[in-house]
């Protein structure tokens, strides 16, 4: 029979596991809002365009306002998350999400609508820079990959829910309802975060050691490891909080090359051309009925969610690098076959099926690699004293290139033709594969504090933690 002490330990261990899972799931709601608010406009714009009598420019402004807001919000998040803490930052983002959603739903004219969408975008930028970092800092090392990936899972669910809500309101043309509904997950995020703990690593950074210890005790399965973890965090914090200038040291340049490089590559390998233009791509392949277009979007959305769930399972036993290399190879192959499908021309009966299968394989490959793993690495590879700021820079780069790809996709198709455009994305995919192969470190099972030392090693400097305390 288990002794009283063992029973108690088993109870604490399952309580620790449950607490950390709930914390990660609540913070991941920031991802749901990211997916929903970027996804819903594809359906809403069809009716907004009509109500406000918008031309191409007006439609473009409504659609891209969230991305522009995110480019503004992401870098601000770094400074604020250091000053006020990660948890409070997410709370602030949730209030901005609510204000933005209500503003969109009530907008009397297109000007107010665009401003409200920029406000929403600022919240998306704040949340996408902070939620993954918060989860990575609360998570125990063995579960960090899986828990941070809940954020990407929520992004994909948000996109899928947006397609479905768009369908549900299609007959009524209720774009105000579509946009206003985003306030609900925002309320849940805000209310939930009120009960979540502060990041133990941020607490150590501001000198609140005993509260950090309390949080670690509540979120770890094995209490005996809490003091070791705390000591390890403290050992890396022998200097004050970092500034933006600290991002320029050789070690940080090495880390940012990987983080910002992946941020850009995640976008310029073309994922959002498929997420947002799936119906157009299917149409170019020769299928023009509106139900097939809708099915293409829903198919892409379902595959994206399902394979992200699979990625969470795979991350338990496989390294980040392994998933990246396999997934990016799949993206390259499917982009090449998409290019070939378009070369065959719409007269060929083979074009449409090859294009549809290629689209699905492409999304599946992204969902097991660059999708989740960019957000994971962006949250875990930077040293604590500059983590929030560096993650903000990575996030801003991601949104900037998201914007550029969205803007250039249709002109690119017009300029070089459909198949050449997909061959160009495939070429960038090949570059991405070598980038991952040569530069991305394996961080699985490494405590955040050890990852910091990897950059010092790469830059040829003595790891900070090895220096005697000053």
| Window contacting ligand BGC (CB under 6 A); options: 91-99, 118-126, 266-274, 332-340 | 266-274
Judged by beta carbon, residue 156 or residue 418, the one nearer ligand BGC is: 156
To the nearest whole angstrom, how small is the minimum distance from the Cβ of residue 464 to ligand BGC? 31
User: By CB under 6 A, what part of segment 360-399 binds ligand BGC?
Assistant: 371, 375, 398
For residue 332, what are the contacts with CB-CB under 8 A and spacing of at least 6?
A: 426, 429, 430, 433
Tokens of 275: 């997420």
For 129-286, list the strands marked E by DSSP. Answer: none
Q: Which residue has 């803490």 as its token pair?
A: 85
- Report if residue 408 touches ligand BGC, rule: CB under 6 A: no
Judged by beta carbon, residue 47 or residue 366, the one nearer ligand BGC is: 366
Q: Which residue is nearest to ligand BGC (CB)?
A: 371
- Report if residue 297 touches ligand BGC, rule: CB under 6 A: no
To the nearest whole angstrom, how small is the minimum distance from the Cβ of residue 407 to ligand BGC? 14
**Largest alpha-carbon pair distance within the chain?**
75
- Report if residue 272 touches ligand BGC, rule: CB under 6 A: yes
- Report if residue 94 touches ligand BGC, rule: CB under 6 A: no
Interface pick for ligand BGC out of 402, 418, 432, 443 (rule CB under 6 A): 402
Other beta carbons within 10 angstroms of residue 126's beta carbon come to: 31
- Report if residue 152 touches ligand BGC, rule: CB under 6 A: yes
- Report if residue 127 touches ligand BGC, rule: CB under 6 A: no
- Exposure string of 272-306, with b = 16+ CB inside 10 Å and e = fewer, is bbbbbbbbebbbbbbbeeeebbbbbbebbbebbbe
| Window contacting ligand BGC (CB under 6 A); options: 227-235, 270-278, 421-429, 456-464 | 270-278
Helix (H) or strand (E) run with residue 326 in it: helix 320-344
- Report if residue 304 touches ligand BGC, rule: CB under 6 A: yes
Burial of 438 (0-12, 13-18, 19+ CB in 10 A): exposed
Dihedral sign for Cα atoms in the order 363, 365, 366, 371: positive
- Report if residue 285 touches ligand BGC, rule: CB under 6 A: no
Interface pick for ligand BGC out of 94, 130, 156, 269 (rule CB under 6 A): 156
- Write phi, then psi, for 468 (nearest 5 degrees): -70, 145
Kindly determine how many residues on this chain lie close enough to bind ligand BGC according to the rule CB under 6 A.
13
CA distance 264 to 253: 16
To the nearest whole angstrom, how small is the minimum distance from the Cβ of residue 152 to ligand BGC? 5
- Report if residue 155 touches ligand BGC, rule: CB under 6 A: yes
Q: Which residue has 């050789």 as its token pair?
A: 250
Binding site for ligand BGC (CB under 6 A): 152, 155-156, 159, 266, 271-272, 275, 304, 371, 375, 398, 402
């Amino acid at each position: 029979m288990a002794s009283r002490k063992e029973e108690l330990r088993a109870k604490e261990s399952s309580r620790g596991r449950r607490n950390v899972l709930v914390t990660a799931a609540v913070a991941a709601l920031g991802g749901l809002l990211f997916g929903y608010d970027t996804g819903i406009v594809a359906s809403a714009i069809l009716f907004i365009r009509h109500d406000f009598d918008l031309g191409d420019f007006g439609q473009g402004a409504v659609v891209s306002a969230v991305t522009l807001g995110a480019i503004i919000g992401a870098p601000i998040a770094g400074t604020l998350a250091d000053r006020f803490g990660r948890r409070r930052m997410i709370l602030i983002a949730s209030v901005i999400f609510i204000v933005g959603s209500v503003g969109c739903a009530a907008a009397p004219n297109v000007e107010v609508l665009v401003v409200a969408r920029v406000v929403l975008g600022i919240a998306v930028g704040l949340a996408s820079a902070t939620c993954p970092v918060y989860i990575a800092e609360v998570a125990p090392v063995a579960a960090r990959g899986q828990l941070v990936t809940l954020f990407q899972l929520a992004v994909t669910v948000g996109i899928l829910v947006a397609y479905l809500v768009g369908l549900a309101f299609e007959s009524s043309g209720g774009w105000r309802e579509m946009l206003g509904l985003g306030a609900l997950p925002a309320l849940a995020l805000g209310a939930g975060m009120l009960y979540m703990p502060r990041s133990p690593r941020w607490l150590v950074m501001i000198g609140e050691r005993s509260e950090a210890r309390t949080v670690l005790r509540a979120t770890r399965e094995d209490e005996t490891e809490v003091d070791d973890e705390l000591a390890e965090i403290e050992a890396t914090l022998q200097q004050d909080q970092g500034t933006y200038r600290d991002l320029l040291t050789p070690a940080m340049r090495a880390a940012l090359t990987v983080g910002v490089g992946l941020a850009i590559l995640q976008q310029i390998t073309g994922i959002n051309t498929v997420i947002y233009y799936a119906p157009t791509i299917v149409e170019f392949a020769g299928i023009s009925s509106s139900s097939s277009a809708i099915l293409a979007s829903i198919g892409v959305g379902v595959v994206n969610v399902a394979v992200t769930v699979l990625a969470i399972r795979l991350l338990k036993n496989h390294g980040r690098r392994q998933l990246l290399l396999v997934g990016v190879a799949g993206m390259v192959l499917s982009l090449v076959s998409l290019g070939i499908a378009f070369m065959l021309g719409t007269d060929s009966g083979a074009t449409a099926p090859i294009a549809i299968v290629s689209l699905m394989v492409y999304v599946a490959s992204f969902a097991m690699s660059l999708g989740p793993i960019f957000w994971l690495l962006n949250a875990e590879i930077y040293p604590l004293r500059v983590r929030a700021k560096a993650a903000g820079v990575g996030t801003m780069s991601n949104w900037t290139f998201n914007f550029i790809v969205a803007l250039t996709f249709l002109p690119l198709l017009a300029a070089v033709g459909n198949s050449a455009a997909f061959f160009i994305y495939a070429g960038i995919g090949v570059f991405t594969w070598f980038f991952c192969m040569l530069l991305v470190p394996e961080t699985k099972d490494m405590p955040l504090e050890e990852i910091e030392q990897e950059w010092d090693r790469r830059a040829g400097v003595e790891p900070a933690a090895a220096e005697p305390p000053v």
